Amino acid sequence: MKVADSGSALREILKTVPGPRVLVPTMGAFHPGHISLMHRAREIAGPNGTMIVSIFVNPIQFDRASDLAAYPRPMESDIAECEGAGVDVVFTPDAGSMYFPDRSVTVTETLLSRGLCGATRPGHFDGVCTVVLKLFLLTGCDAAIFGEKDFQQLAIIRRMVRDLDVPVEIISCPTVREPDGLAMSSRNTRLTPEQREDAPRIRKALLEAASLETADEILRSARTLIEASPLTRIDYLSLVDAETLQPVIALERPAVLAAAVFYGEVRLIDHIAVKAR
Ligand code: AMP
């Protein structure tokens, strides 16, 4: 396995690697969700292709400085996990090598990013689109793997690739969960034991609410179940069209019930599909 810590080092390594190239973009602090993406990447790349994993805590996608500062960065163990997962190239740039101090070009998606995380995290998806496009260009990847856990991010990246004719195939993987249903996240390690014990309520609330009949009942039930805990603060709870991500009031088409919930400073997201009635 080779490790590149800058774009120029990566370019040198990539001159010699065989295709297809499959990229798994991450911010590190690996858990089994990330590893599942790597396994999928190997399937797509095949035994002779090249699996590239990027580990970059992208400063321009963080809307809160405290969240960026507290983001876990266990680089040594992450690199060891990449080795174990059969990664061919690990890309670990620092912010200085990714962004010029006077950078002035940003990729903005203007429709799907309006609601949900886009509404409560200003600039977040500009940061995501910009870094993902840069990673696609730096690696020259043929395909890239993303988790369905970040379903708005996945929809926005698919839109970016479609609208800008980016020649990268976007492949998604299902959300990997803890045995108690909590979606795995690098942020889970920042929960107190009490918060960690309470956090599966997000998934339970979404599951229970999604089986109800009307949009109104679904939203009310999920809110009640999440707010039943004194430890939670809802950032958003929305029922949106599965394709347009615009809020829905009637369940005439497939929808998604999505939540972002704060436990103290830690913000967790989850979602569930809701069938048309
Ligand atoms: P992150 O390091 O959190 O930016 O995530 C990197 C990639 O891993 C993204 O495509 C995420 O959607 C994906 N991911 C994060 N958590 C999970 C999970 N629990 N299951 C599957 N994929 C995940």
List, for residues 19-75, the tens digit of each pLDDT value. Answer: 899 999 999 999 999 999 999 999 999 999 999 999 999 999 999 999 999 999 999
Q: Is the CB of 33 under 6 A from ligand 1?
A: yes
**Opening angle at CA 51, ends 46 and 54, nearest 5:** 160
Stretch 118-139: mean pLDDT: 97
Catalytic residue among 31, 34, 39, 124: 34
Q: Which ligand 1 atom minimizes the distance to the CA of 183?
A: 19
pLDDT digits over 196-247, tens only?
999 999 999 999 999 999 999 999 999 999 999 999 999 999 999 999 999 9
Whether the CB-CB separation of 258 and 240 falls below 8 Å is answered with yes
Tens digits of per-residue pLDDT, 158-181? 999 999 999 999 999 999 999 999
The reply to whether 39 belongs to the active site is no
HSE at residue 91, side-chain half, CA atoms within 13 A, is: 31
pLDDT in tens, 241-274: 999 999 999 999 999 999 999 999 999 999 999 9
pTM of the complete model: 0.97
Q: Is residue 182 within 6 Å of ligand 1 at its C-beta?
A: no
Domains of the chain: 2-173 (3.40.50.620), 186-270 (3.30.1300.10)
User: Are the C-beta atoms of 170 and 157 separated by less than 8 Å?
Assistant: yes
Q: If you measure from the C-alpha of residue 171 to the centroid of ligand 1, how many angstroms do you get, rounded to a whole number?
A: 13
* Residue 185 beta carbon below 6 angstroms from any ligand 1 atom: yes
Q: How distant, in Å, are the alpha carbons of 61, 83, 266 from that of 64?
A: 9, 32, 11
